[in-house]
Amino acid sequence: MQITTTSTRPFEKISLDIVGPLPEAGFHKLRFILTLQDDLTKFSTAYPISNVTAEETCEALVHFISQFRIPKSLITDQGTNFTADLFKRTCEFLKIRQIWSSPYHPQTQGALERSHATLKEYLKSFVNENRTDWHKYVCPR
């Protein structure tokens, strides 16, 4: 287990995780949400994605970076999208330190996990009865 310190500046350390699978939605057949949360401010954003792949994860990360800044470190679980060579090389290229949480220990990213519960409740309040329009209420790419 890696010991991490608290950030001193916004967007210095970001946690990433996946919500889903959800009911298929939209033209792109979206089924998951990639969530990103700033360690210091707890600011969260979410990106609808079709599949949990390194390619889609990197694309959403680059979109996030283009809006905010390159973080110094990322905290992720050990999902295949985060351990894939493409994701590792992207982090290396951008000089981002990758920190993996312990397997089967979601408490490492407790604040992000709590935001997932809020996100799910929010979506339940707004989606249609077939739950196929949830993507309209998540940050568009």
85-89 long-range contacts, CB within 8 A, separation 24+: 85/54, 86/54, 86/55, 86/58, 87/54, 87/57, 87/58
Beta-sheet pairing, 13-19 with 73-76 = parallel
pTM: 0.83
- Percentage of residues in the chain having pLDDT higher than 70: 79
Percentage of the residues of the chain whose pLDDT score is greater than 90 = 60
Confidence of residue 132 (pLDDT cuts 50, 70, 90): confident
